[in-house]
Amino acid sequence: MTRSEQLFQEAVTRIPGGVNSPVRAFGSVGLTPRFIASAKGAYLTDADGNQYLDYIGSWGPMILGHATPLVLQKVEEACRKGLSFGAATEAEVDMARLICGMVPSVEMVRMVNSGTEAVMSAIRAARGCTGRDKIIKFEGCYHGHSDAMLVKAGSGVMTAGVPDSSGVPAGCTQDTLLAVYNDIPGVERLFEEFGSEIAAVIVEPVGANMGVVLPQKGFLEKLRELCTQNETVLIFDEVITGFRLARGGAQEYYGIEADLVTYGKIIGGGMPVGAYGGKREIMEVVAPAGSVYQAGTLSGNPVAMAAGLAQLTYLNEHPEVYGQLEQAGEKLYGGIKAMCRDLKLPCQVNHVASLGCLFFTPEPVTDYRSAKTSDTEAFRRYFVHMLEHGIYLAPSQFEAMFLSASHTEEDIRFTLDTMHKYFEK
Ligand code: KE4
């Protein structure tokens, strides 16, 4: 029995499903999850000493790679000054100044402890400043696990979401309206029916939780226009795209300004951090400045701020990293695309900058419905081959691949060679 198998055997007796976040359980690929002991650069080492080239990067935070000296040094320095004070610190002012400097649309920002908390709070702020209740979200977009976001499409008649998890009362999702990603007419119909009741539209500017689904031309622009016309708050959930697609995230990359934006992952440098921010007149409704309550014992934690500041400062001072990630993405995802063409594989490749996804479907993937036409058994076989050859992918067809600044040309060549050996069989 491997060490990972031993650990998993005990873990399932004391942790639901043996993991502290469901996707880590390798459920959809039917394997024992690898228990990771350490990581450095683009590589993970599991509890049995096996090394893997990592395309998850902790689901996005590790854009520079694992255990980068510049982040570790700042964390160590912060630790020596104390781990948590529950009081205001200079590091939080530095972080707010840095985020507002990197993202022009963000005039004020509040630190929280996860992407879920950032989204939950941004929605409350949008409802608080508009006095409206309804929210539009898109099928296939994931915004964390707050009740109002755990919805799936109701019956054809209903447009309101129904809970997509047990334990979520219908009352928590009755104001969540569901639309189809890239389907502007559907959004227009919701605005025609509910316009003056809609507090916010929340969208992943690049869908990265149904695999990777890109915004079609005009989609984000039209959402911006509809929200402006209806005085609805446009929320970009940039927990994944934030500071990954560009210094200013998807807002910069696509040239669209959201009213509120949510962050996580990269801004924590690997530590538990989330944030929401945007227009001053919206953010000033948040307590204690305003009447929208939101709080957190460890929000702006000094050690987490040290990690986040180190990573974000580096990205801010070295924008060339984004060009490097763009080129690496072209090499990797362009190489996979060429392989699919040459070997006539029934697959699709969607990618933008360092994010990408290989879908096992012949159908172009433009939304959740088309993503779900993927052959998840074919994905599972591919995943097992890659893992056995030392390449650690997301254990689900409906997740993204994440490149980091630590992935080398050699790593990308090894990845493409390993894929080619699999597909040419
Ligand atoms: P967290 O609460 O997990 O920090 O963030 C929630 C969240 C919000 N918005 C977007 C766009 C997200 O992608 C996420 C979380 N992403 C998943 C990866 N698909 C986290 C991995 C996990 O759940 O373990």
Average pLDDT over residues 348-367: 98
pLDDT given at position 159: 62
* Closest C-alpha residue for ligand 1 atom 17: 59
Phi and psi (nearest 5°) for 336? -70, -40
pLDDT given at position 43: 99
Centre of ligand 1 from the C-alpha of residue 299, in Å: 18
Token couple for 324: 């490097």
Average pLDDT over residues 198-217: 98
Centre of ligand 1 from the C-alpha of residue 239, in Å: 7
pLDDT given at position 162: 84
Question: 131-162: per-residue pLDDT in tens?
Answer: 999 999 999 999 999 999 999 866 554 467 78
Which residue among 19, 240, 357 has the greatest number of ligand 1 atoms within 8 angstroms of its CB, and so is best to mutate? Answer: 240
- 424: confidence class by pLDDT, cuts 50, 70, 90: very high
Ligand 1 atom closest to Cα of residue 116 = 2
d(CA 226, CA 84): 43
Assess whether pLDDT exceeds 60 at residue 62.
Answer: yes
Residues 200 and 206: beta-carbon distance below 8 Å: no
Mark out the alpha helices in 275-319 (DSSP H runs).
280-283, 302-317
Ligand 1 atom closest to Cα of residue 399 = 19
pLDDT given at position 157: 47
Assess whether pLDDT exceeds 70 at residue 247.
Answer: yes
Q: What percent of the chain has pLDDT over 90?
A: 97
Assess whether pLDDT exceeds 50 at residue 361.
Answer: yes
Centre of ligand 1 from the C-alpha of residue 209, in Å: 8
Question: 95-126: per-residue pLDDT in tens?
Answer: 999 999 999 999 999 999 999 999 999 999 99
Token couple for 362: 């012949």
* Closest C-alpha residue for ligand 1 atom 7: 144
Full-model pTM: 0.98
Residues 227 and 221: beta-carbon distance below 8 Å: no
Q: What is the mean pLDDT of the chain?
A: 97
* Closest C-alpha residue for ligand 1 atom 23: 21
Ligand 1 atom closest to Cα of residue 141 = 11
Give the active site residues.
142, 237, 265
Average pLDDT over residues 234-260: 98
pLDDT given at position 153: 67
pLDDT given at position 101: 98
Average pLDDT over residues 380-403: 97
Bridge partners (DSSP) of residue 262 are 237, 276
Average pLDDT over residues 389-408: 97
Which residues sit with their C-beta closer than 6 Å to ligand 1?
A: 21, 23, 59, 114-116, 119, 142-144, 204, 209, 237, 239-240, 264, 274, 399
Token couple for 323: 């060009």
Which residue among 209, 260, 397, 402 has the greatest number of ligand 1 atoms within 8 angstroms of its CB, and so is best to mutate? Answer: 209
Average pLDDT over residues 230-251: 98
Which residue among 26, 36, 59 has the greatest number of ligand 1 atoms within 8 angstroms of its CB, and so is best to mutate? Answer: 59
Assess whether pLDDT exceeds 60 at residue 199.
Answer: yes
Centre of ligand 1 from the C-alpha of residue 145, in Å: 8
* Closest C-alpha residue for ligand 1 atom 18: 59
Q: How far, in Å, are 108, 125, 224, 259, 292 from residue 130 at the CA level?
A: 18, 8, 16, 12, 12
Centre of ligand 1 from the C-alpha of residue 368, in Å: 17
Kindly provide the b/e burial profile for residues 135-166, where b requires at least 16 CB atoms within 10 angstroms of the residue's own CB.
Answer: bbbbbbbbbbbbbbbbbebbeeeebbbbbeee
Nearest to 159 by CA among 141, 142, 173: 173
